[in-house]
Structure 1
Amino acid sequence: MSRIGQKILEIPKGVKVVFESGRCIVEAAKNKLELNIPQGINLEITADSLTVKRANDSKALKSLHGTIRMLINNMIEGVTKGYRRELDIIGVGYKAQMKEKNLLLNVGYSHPVEMEVPEGLKVTCSGNNMIIVEGIDKQKVGEFTANVRRVFPPEPYKGKGIRYRGEEVRKKLGKALAKQ
């Protein structure tokens, strides 16, 4: 059984963590993230560390204990370093470009796909075939990149589509090659 919830979180210099009325607020420089903490979970904050405690050993609180600790850890890492995901667009004539606050994708459909970039994220297109998503909220960065990938996921025969940087796509043999 995992004991992640019991590990102590180190708070780096320049990061301020506040727990008040069921909300955890993490601030550093100009970055600020908030998280609602469920009842029964308490935070013990010292000068340079944070510990997540639960009121009792109920099944619901045990399941939330490690999750809350990791969410706070992701918030601390987000306000200090930030998160970055890269997507590659593979296919002849496929491209992406920014149009004001929208991401415009031309990926083989009869129409371009326009996606609104959520607040708090910075999206850039490097060349025509690479999308870089940056932000301080790990969940927002991951969700937006997953939504972009969902527009045209890599197909298994030619490998065309939108994929994460470094993602391996297993290719299938075509019908003609499979018969031989």
Structure 2
Amino acid sequence: MFAIKRTSTSCVSARLFSTTTLRASNIGSTPIIVPADVKVTVAPLDDPIVTRKGRTSLKLSKYATITGPRGELKLNLPDFLQVREKESKLTIKVKDETKKQQKALWGTMRALINNHIDGVVEGHMSILRLVGTGYRAQLEEKDGKKFLGLKVGASIPQGLFIPDHLTVTSPSTTRIIIEGIDKQQVRLFAAKIREFHPPEPYKGKGIYVDSETIKIKDKKIK
């Protein structure tokens, strides 16, 4: 009788489920067109900033200055990011594409730089709609500062002071237009206004940002 020799599973080599080669970030590797009236410069930070990103740390050792017709913006950059300009095209690269952190931030940093270039040329805008009976917005001044007053169903006065770097207009009592060169600040201020009364799903009342929509639910019957 012959003995059957069994091989241990630990001796079997691991199966490769993917044989594709490492690809560069589709967003990060796309060049940015720089208009003629925009200037982009990169300089080292005097005091580098080190922050925690999960289990790893991120070192911001330089910053980019984007100057255009509407103003100037600055953006801190990680030490592994490389920004090069040639023939009115900005190319964003990282030192090591195989590292997870660098590949993850590659497209993000490219998008931020592109948003800043668009901001100093055309600016960014966010439009808010107030939906509800008696809901309205009013621009006024408090303590010498611009203030956006809101009446959105609460029994007490509500509102926010408008930052100096943003322009807020109200063409009608139910419309608010926020403009600025920094997209992040424009959207952040819009989100703060929305917090006063987010859209509710039963009557559809609330503050809507840009093209935001919600699905109306049926009322609960007890």
Q: What CA distance in whole angstroms lies between the structure 1 residues aligned with 2:217 and 2:67?
A: 48
Residue among 134, 142, 154 paired with 2:179: 134
The two structures, once aligned, show a CA RMSD in angstroms of: 1.5
Cα contact 2:70–2:123 (8 A) shared by 1: no
- Structure having the higher helix fraction is 1
Q: What CA distance in whole angstroms lies between the structure 1 residues aligned with 2:100 and 2:219?
A: 50
2:58 maps to which residue?
Answer: none
Residue by residue, what CA displacement relative to the aligned partner does 1:123-169 show, whole Å, maximum 9, x if unpaired? 11121111101111110111111111111011111111111243222
Q: Does 1:83 align with 2:128?
A: no
Residue by residue, what CA displacement relative to the aligned partner does 1:47-90 show, whole Å, maximum 9, x if unpaired? 41111121223221111111111110000111111111111101
2:81 maps to which residue?
Answer: 41
1:55 maps to which residue?
Answer: 95
Cα contact 2:70–2:181 (8 A) shared by 1: no
Structure 2 residues not aligned, in runs of 5+: 1-22, 45-61
* SS of alignment partner, residue 150 of structure 2: strand
1:148 maps to which residue?
Answer: 193
Q: What CA distance in whole angstroms lies between the structure 1 residues aligned with 2:75 and 2:150?
A: 33
Residue among 100, 103, 109 paired with 1:68: 109
Matching residue's letter, 1:175: K
Spell out the pairing of 1:157-168 with structure 2 (5 A cutoff).
157-168=202-213
Structure number with bigger Rg: 2
TM-score by length of 2: 0.76
User: Alpha carbons of 1:165 and 1:10: their partners in 2 closer, same or farther (altered >3 Å)?
Assistant: closer
Q: What CA distance in whole angstroms lies between the structure 2 residues aligned with 1:5 and 1:175?
A: 48
* SS of alignment partner, residue 28 of structure 2: helix
2:27 maps to which residue?
Answer: 4
Spell out the pairing of 1:7-46 with structure 2 (5 A cutoff).
7-21=30-44, 22-46=62-86
2:20 maps to which residue?
Answer: none
Task: Calculate percent identity across the aligned residue pairs.
Answer: 41
* SS of alignment partner, residue 4 of structure 1: coil
2:56 maps to which residue?
Answer: none
Structure 1 residues not aligned, in runs of 5+: none
* SS of alignment partner, residue 73 of structure 2: strand
Q: Which ranges of 4 or more aligned residues in structure 1 deviate by more than 4 Å?
A: none
2:220 maps to which residue?
Answer: 175
Q: Does 1:93 align with 2:129?
A: no
TM-score by length of 1: 0.92
